[in-house]
Amino acid sequence: MVIWILIFLGLVLAPSCSYSVSNNTRYYKTPTAPSPSPSHSSPPYYPILKKGKKMPPPTPPLPTPPPLVTPFDYFKLVETWPTSFCLVKNCVNPPPPSPVMRFTIHGLWPSNKTNPQPRDCASNENFDFLKVVGPSLPLSDFRKFWPNLLMVKKTDEFKLWRDQWIHHGKCSSMYAKDFYKLAFQIYLKKDLKAILLMNGITPGGTEQESQKIFDAIKSGIGGFNPEI
């Protein structure tokens, strides 16, 4: 049984959506844009003038322009149950079944109630994943909660995270960093496994009726219809 849980989270993100819809002006700004250059992140250096007077501090860099605004209806958080996923996909390092196994994040998808779905919203510019993650988005969280189960070589590690930004995140009208952060926030707020366990649905062994899973998740996430 493959479980791709697609959860409707329109409510949580309503402000972002209404903003997108209310202003359809498309103005482009690469969302990778520039964290401050290294010279700005090092301690400021003010040349000393005569009599110890300091130069006025340098004018701050121009604010980063906002990302491309794209209209969409709601966000969908897509999660994977690793054991089921690896039954149908060629996982290189399938996680061993374990009582501590949890759903993992696949992606956060800006979505529309009806087709067409937003996707690949801006040019495929060079996106440096490591420049985006920082102390507030530790790689350890990505590895733990958002693993690439299809990872073949070590360099593939960033591929899932990068691809999810390029195909979906860029349609979110958010900066990459905020986009990833939001995915983690929603994921951690609603623990699907806990919701299922509370409803007597346990992993492994017996087959489960998908309607039962649907109902449990729907009530666990505040009445939104999941896609299974």
Residues that bind ligand NAG (CB under 6 A): 23, 25, 27, 71-73, 112, 116, 118
What's the longest Cα–Cα distance across the chain? 81
Q: Which is nearer to ligand NAG, 17 or 192 (CB)?
A: 17
Between CA 225 and CA 147 the distance in angstroms is 25
Q: Please choose, from the candidates 82, 103, 147, 122, the residue with its C-alpha nearest in 3D space to the C-alpha of residue 7.
A: 103
Q: Which is nearer to ligand NAG, 78 or 171 (CB)?
A: 171
What would the two tokens of residue 58 be? 């340098």
Q: Which is nearer to ligand NAG, 71 or 203 (CB)?
A: 71
Contacts of 205 (CB under 8 A, 6+ apart): none
Q: Which is nearer to ligand NAG, 29 or 193 (CB)?
A: 29
Query: b/e per residue, 204-224, with b = 16+ CB within 10 A?
Result: eeeebeeeebeebbbebbeeb
| Minimum distance, C-beta of residue 24 to ligand NAG, in the bound complex (Å) | 7
Taken in order 160, 166, 170, 176, is the CA torsion positive or negative?
positive
Q: DSSP letter string over 58-96?
A: PPPPPPPPPPPP---SEEEEEEE-HHHHHHHS--SSPPP
What would the two tokens of residue 37 be? 């250059």
Q: Which is nearer to ligand NAG, 29 or 89 (CB)?
A: 29
| Minimum distance, C-beta of residue 72 to ligand NAG, in the bound complex (Å) | 5
Q: Which is nearer to ligand NAG, 27 or 46 (CB)?
A: 27
β-pair partners for 8: 76
| Minimum distance, C-beta of residue 113 to ligand NAG, in the bound complex (Å) | 7
